[in-house]
Structure 1
Amino acid sequence: MSRYLFVVPPLVGHINPTLAVGAELARQGHDIAWAGDARFIHALGGSGLDIYDCVTMSLEDRGDLVGPAALKFLWEHFFIPLARAMAPDVTAAIEHFRPDVIIADQQALAGSLVADREGITWIPSATTSTELTDPLGSMPKVKDWVLGLLDELRDEIGAPATGHDPRFSPHGILAFTAPELSGTPAIAAERCWMVGPALADDGASAARSDFPWDFLDNDQRNILVSMGTVNGATGAAFLRKAAAAIGARPDRYRAVLVDPDGVIEDPPSNILIRKFVPQRALLPAMDAVICHAGHNTVCESLWNGLPLVTAPVRDDQPVVAQQVADAGAGVRLRFRRATEQHIAEALEAVLDPATGHQAAAARIGKSFREAGGAGRAADILAGLG
């Protein structure tokens, strides 16, 4: 049996897939551990996990930054300093745990860099397909700037002689998507295992939830509206417009709107406002999802065959939103310019069987389940140990 170390950033959507894969590896008899922010990992996976706590940092509020400015902020204020902060603790975890294979999230660069330095087999965990699409290919100056940052970081905490990009391993890449949504990878396609979403069992969390399930016992179409957990007040205006669009049609829609910052006041009677929801348990009761095109929400929605209305804000969201639209599984709106009418029309479109959005979402969901998920990922990793 082998030893596997997952290195993860303090981001829920990046930790969750590793919990499912780690559980499968443990069932096969392997030794599993995590390196990351113990508070996040314990909160999501329980107290029984072997965790090496790392100094991490939070993603700062970026206000209204979008496009290249948001990307620059993300690299300079999160990815690079996070790698520097985590590197000493990741090194200590490796020295103590002695892993045979390290699975490092593409946004937890310390995992790949330290593994490369120590000569340990390492596989990036791609919890979003964006990096595989070569998103900066049309912006050569920005791409060169990012590669320059990675060169400096490799010189500082990695193995300069290898020249390896820490986002792409010569041993392969584990991607939690499928070609039916993401298409063929533009980068490292020959080394990419696309296993579909790896969804951990969340039955226990759903059972503990105080969610008022009776709200969904109705004849209307049920809609989930969520702009994610890292967009903060930036998504407030869009949430208000979505609430108005749905509230104007009480005979047709009933919605659960996720509002962690309390931006919706006096909601219409057909809208339930919650700071947090048991999303995995909630989605099977939904008919459609309005969201920011976060990869986690998109994949969980499509897993359930739900068409989407997306309004991407920044980071990987525009890429994922376009993948949804190109696959026929939803309608993409412009986040800043979408009006109440645009949202209402998009919602009508994705719920109309004649448009094909529902059929496309069901097709992608089927492909996700056939891709193998956590079980296939565990088998792939077991072959490397």
Structure 2
Amino acid sequence: MYRIAFFSIYAHGHTNPTLPVVRELTCRGHQVRYYSFAPFREKIQAAGAQFVPCDSYLPPAPPDLERRVGRDFAALVEMITQTLLAMDGPVGRDLAQFQPHCVVSDSLCFWGKLWAAKLACPYVCSTTTFAFNRHTAKLMKQTPGQFLRLLAGRGRIRRCMAQLCQAGYPVKGLLSLIENDGYTDTIVYTSREFQPLADTFSSRYAFIGPSVPELTHAPRSGGDRQIYISLGTVNNRSRSFYRACLEALRSWEGVRAVLSLGGGCRPEELGDVPPNVQVLPQVDQLAVLSQSDAFLSHCGMNSVSESLYLGVPLVLFPQQEEQGMVARRVQELGAGVPLPAPTPAAIHQALSLVLADPAFQHSAQHISEGFRAAGGYRRGADKILEAAMGSAPLP
């Protein structure tokens, strides 16, 4: 039996894909301790892991957090640095006492990577977005405003790196934290086919496909076509967008829809809801997608992966650049179309195109087959255990 420590950032999209892997490890008899945050406690414990709360180490969230997400990288680095320095004593001592045979941490969770180095412990990077290196970095299309913000934030990032060095962490620079070298064991929750420039990554990168648990949902029923709409759990407060969706769907014969607000606002704030639309604060996304024929999505990696895993084509409405990169890949592979404007007419036209042309569904199904062949959470667990074999197992 091995002891395995998991770390992730405060984000559903970065935590959820790891949970089937955790469940597989605990089902095989290994001990997992997951350092995370209160919203994920129940899910982590349900996967069989020991939950260690880290909420008290988070810095206060700025009032404009939603605006900054995906736009102010320096603010993200500052938040991660402050969290790591606050955790350094208590969590570091707990981790040293646990004596893990392997540390698994999210690609943005710098503290897991740095603690693994401090403990001279095998390390596996968990990458819930596309894998990142100097080649894929060139695919990130920045607006002039984003580029200026990045330049303006360079001094703040350098100060963060200096703080980490002063605290005893062997930091060479930001790039050394966010980019794995060719010798770092890395799990990527997509297939080699879906990963852009996959041939630029070494064999230490395991492209395992989406980490989706076995589904017990019934197959899609006949009758009306179903559309699912969601902007995820972060940038989801656009009431004007939701109202435009309701108008696009109003009186659309033979089509029903599920609109998930993700906690961004309340259903009653949207006014008159047509009878063919169900507006809900939150949904079981896999269950809804299993009954859907098209998904209008913000293009978060987790949402897109679940949609394509189930063979559901997309209308693409990214809210930040990382999501834009995912959207472009979906479009390149023929499994979706971009939404040119958040207006009722544009929404209706884009959804109509995806529903009417079987080529989109065929492309989504082809990607799904590649995802399923990649190995999923079982292969992810195998990769972690291979890394842990460098340490002696428990008796």
Q: What are the residue-to-residue correspondences of 1:144-155 with 2, within 5 Å?
A: 145=154, 148=158, 151-152=161-162, 154-155=164-165
Aligned to 1:115: 116
Alpha-carbon distance change, 196 to 62 in structure 1, aligned in 2, over 3 angstroms: farther
8 Å Cα contact 2:96-2:119 kept in structure 1: no
Deviation at 1:27, TM superposition (A): 2.8
Deviation at 1:347, TM superposition (A): 0.9
SS at match of 2:194: helix
Alpha-carbon distance change, 82 to 160 in structure 1, aligned in 2, over 3 angstroms: same
Alpha-carbon distance change, 4 to 243 in structure 1, aligned in 2, over 3 angstroms: same
> Is 2:367 aligned against 1:369?
no
Aligned to 1:229: 233
Alpha-carbon distance change, 378 to 200 in structure 1, aligned in 2, over 3 angstroms: same
> Is 2:312 aligned against 1:306?
yes
1:262-282 alpha-carbon deviations (Å, 9 max, x no partner):
242221111001001111122
8 Å Cα contact 1:16-1:199 kept in structure 2: no
Aligned to 2:196: 183
> Which residue identity does 2:176 align to in structure 1?
D
Alpha-carbon distance change, 318 to 84 in structure 1, aligned in 2, over 3 angstroms: farther
> Is 2:244 aligned against 1:244?
no
> Which residue identity does 1:304 align to in structure 2?
L
Aligned mates of 2:214, 2:164 — CA distance in 1: 36
Deviation at 1:182, TM superposition (A): 2.2
User: Which deviates further from its counterpart, 288-297 or 12-21?
Assistant: 12-21
Aligned mates of 2:107, 2:342 — CA distance in 1: 32
8 Å Cα contact 2:35-2:52 kept in structure 1: yes
> Is 2:223 aligned against 1:219?
yes
Aligned to 1:210: none
1:307-326 alpha-carbon deviations (Å, 9 max, x no partner):
00111111521111111111
Aligned mates of 1:325, 1:95 — CA distance in 2: 46
- Count, aligned residues: 369
SS at match of 1:237: helix
8 Å Cα contact 1:122-1:171 kept in structure 2: yes
Deviation at 1:223, TM superposition (A): 0.6
Root-mean-square deviation (CA, aligned residues, Å) is 3.1
Seq. identity, %: 28
> Which residue identity does 1:167 align to in structure 2?
I
Alpha-carbon distance change, 130 to 345 in structure 1, aligned in 2, over 3 angstroms: farther
Deviation at 1:120, TM superposition (A): 1.5
Q: What are the residue-to-residue correspondences of 1:1-385 with 2, within 5 Å?
A: 1-43=1-43, 45-46=45-46, 48-55=48-55, 56-57=57-58, 62=64, 65=67, 69-76=71-78, 78-129=79-130, 131-132=132-133, 133-134=136-137, 142=150, 145=154, 148=158, 151-152=161-162, 154-157=164-167, 159-160=169-170, 165-169=176-180, 170-185=183-198, 188-200=201-213, 219-233=223-237, 235-249=238-252, 251-259=253-261, 260=263, 261-262=265-266, 263-334=269-340, 337-354=341-358, 356-385=359-388
> Which residue identity does 2:178 align to in structure 1?
R
Residue segments in structure 2 that go unaligned for 5+ positions in a row: 389-395
1:237-284 alpha-carbon deviations (Å, 9 max, x no partner):
2222122111241x1310000123124222111100100111112211
1:98-157 alpha-carbon deviations (Å, 9 max, x no partner):
111111112222111122122222121111116352158777884893974663354145
8 Å Cα contact 2:8-2:109 kept in structure 1: yes
